[in-house]
Amino acid sequence: MPHKADPSTIRDNTRLRELEEADMIRTIEKKRAPGPVRWTMTEKGIDILPAIIQLMAFGARRHAANPFPGKPPRRLT
């Protein structure tokens, strides 16, 4: 019976790979067997963190009451 991959896992893996390729994160240890992989932020990732936090704070201040007018809130996956 073929294994069906969970779409959310595929999306998460794609995002992690993109962040790794952009030198924002790196793996601490890679395992050959299936299991968790540990990640850490690179210097570049740490440098951008204050800007990301400010953008999150802006969104919380400006759009907390009605983040998506006329639409139901989206679920981040």
pLDDT in tens, the chain (77 residues): 444 666 667 777 888 899 999 999 998 876 666 777 888 999 999 999 999 999 988 887 877 666 667 777 666 65
What lies within 8 Å, CB to CB, of 59 at 6+ separation is 67
Task: Say what the pLDDT of residue 63 is.
Answer: 72
Dihedral-angle region of residue 42 (phi above 0 means left; psi in -120 to 50 means alpha; beta otherwise):
beta
Nearest CA to 13 out of 43, 39, 32 is that of: 39
Q: What is the pTM of this model?
A: 0.60
Task: Say what the pLDDT of residue 6 is.
Answer: 67
